[in-house]
Amino acid sequence: MELLVASSVGLMTAVGIYLILRMRSFPVIVGLTMISYACNVFIFASGRIVAGLPPILSKTATGYTDPVPQALVLTAIVISFGMTAVLVMMALGAFFEAGDDRIDLKADTARDSAE
């Protein structure tokens, strides 16, 4: 099971990095979201989730599940949703301003050198 989780985290990270390196704004947003999902799965898997065990210590239970990674992942989900919403609004603003979501580095370099 650890191999499956580690492979999925690695694959999501690789896909996220590939999408971030694209020259369009929408794949960058999807890539950041994929990296956020990979981090959430990694943090969640590091908490040793065990079915049937309570999240706190008690006198009757023989073990417990650490609740801190679960709380961290819940917080990270909310933060990544807000970050994605802000990035989508910025990408929409850039699309409406330029008419395209392509990032053209050559035109920006020529314009900066002309100034």
Print the domain residue range for 104.
Answer: 2-114
pLDDT at 102 over 90: no
How far apart CA 24 and CA 94 sit, in angstroms, is: 11
pTM for the full predicted model? 0.76
Average pLDDT over residues 37-58: 80
**CATH code assigned at 48:** 1.10.287
pLDDT at 101 over 90: no
Taking only the tens place, the pLDDT of each residue in 5-27 is 899 999 999 999 999 998 888 99
Helix, strand, coil shares of the chain, percent, nearest 5, are 70, 0, 30
**Under a CB-based contact definition with an 8 Å cutoff, are residues 56 and 64 in contact?**
yes
Query: Total structural domains in the chain?
Result: 1
